[in-house]
Each structure stands twice: as C-alpha cells, then as structure tokens.
Amino acid sequence: MAEPAPGAALLRQIASTLSASPAAAAQAVTVYAAGYALGAPLIIRATRRVPRGRLVALGVFAAANAATAAAPSLAAVLGARIAAGACGGAFMAAAAATAAGSVAPGRRGRGLAVIVGGSSAATAFGVPLGAFAGAAIGWRPAFFGLTAAAALATAATATLSPHEGSRPELAAAAIPRGPVLLTLATTLTSGCPNG
C-alpha cells in the first residue's frame, strides 16, 4: 500500500506526545520509505511460497499501523513504520501483479493504471484527510483508523481476490473486475489517515 508521508500535523503531534523533536519524528517518513524500497523485496521473497502471501503482507501492514498507534516511544514508532513500509510495498507489488494477471492481455496497462492511480489518489486525498483526522481526534486514533481500514482490506482481499497460483483467466471470469477494483479500494484506504 503506497501510504503517503505523514502530514505535518501528525508529525508535530507524534513529536509532542513522545517528547521528541519534530525533526526526529519526521524520521517516520524516512524509515517508512526505506522499508518500502528495501524491505518490500525481502518480504516478497520470504512470502513467495506462502499461500496467499499478499494477505500476510497486508495483515502485517495492519498490525504495524496498530503498533504505531500504540507505540510508547519514538523508537517503537520508527520500528513499526519500517514494518508498515516493507509490507505496504510488498502488497503493492502483489496488487500490480494481480491487476495485470486478472485482465485480458490487451487490458493489462489499464489494470496497472488503476493501481498506480489508486496509489496517487491515496497521497492526494490521504494527506489532507490524515491531517484533518489528526487534528480532530489525535494521531493515535488516526493510526487506529488506518489499522481498521487495512484490516477491512485484508478481509476483502481474502474473500474476493483469486487464490495465488490460480489461472488468471479463470480468476478473471470468476470475479469480473474484482481484483482490480479491490486493489484500487485498498490503495485508496492506504492514504487514510496517512502514516
């Protein structure tokens, strides 16, 4: 899930709550991005033989956001953000593969465009929504809201997406446009409340 960087309002709240400087709290952005770029390939490799490994990544993404919300220290927030980044990146790779494999060969570009568009929309709408949620209810409840959205996405993915290893043409016939629409919904929720 291409989760956008925390809004400035959330970073200030995190810094204040955890008695850290805003610059130190801003490292949550850096470690999330590092986890996404460097950890995702490791998660993909580790779960490639796990049945429905994308569900593992999405479930751990949800758990990492819960850990962020409950973190007692900045170090715990940073560790949780690394895990969230790695699992978000792994899920996005799986979402792209699912979208490309679940549509006719001539429509693969459109399927991938939906995923990339969802990721972009998560950033465009998630950052201001996250700042609003943080201002209204605080950063911890905002991250628990992201946890709930990720948990719902995990349940929807488990229910609606084809099993890994199934033939894409059969999966596409069984769930018309389901995987593509599901991954769009998942990427859109990844930006709320942005973390």
8-189 CATH fold: Growth Hormone; Chain: A; (1.20.1250)
pLDDT surpassing 70 at residue 194: no
Domain ranges, ordered by start, for the chain: 8-189
Q: Would you put residue 165 in left (φ > 0), alpha (ψ -120 to 50) or beta?
A: left
Q: Give pLDDT tens digits for 13-63.
A: 999 999 999 999 999 999 999 999 899 888 888 888 887 777 888 899 999
DSSP letter string over 50-108? Answer: STTHHHHHHHHHHHHHHHHHH-SSHHHHHHHHHHHHHHHHHHHHHHHHHHHHTS-GGGH
Band the pLDDT of 142: cuts 50, 70, 90.
Answer: very high
Band the pLDDT of 3: cuts 50, 70, 90.
Answer: low
Amino acid, res. 133: A
Band the pLDDT of 179: cuts 50, 70, 90.
Answer: low
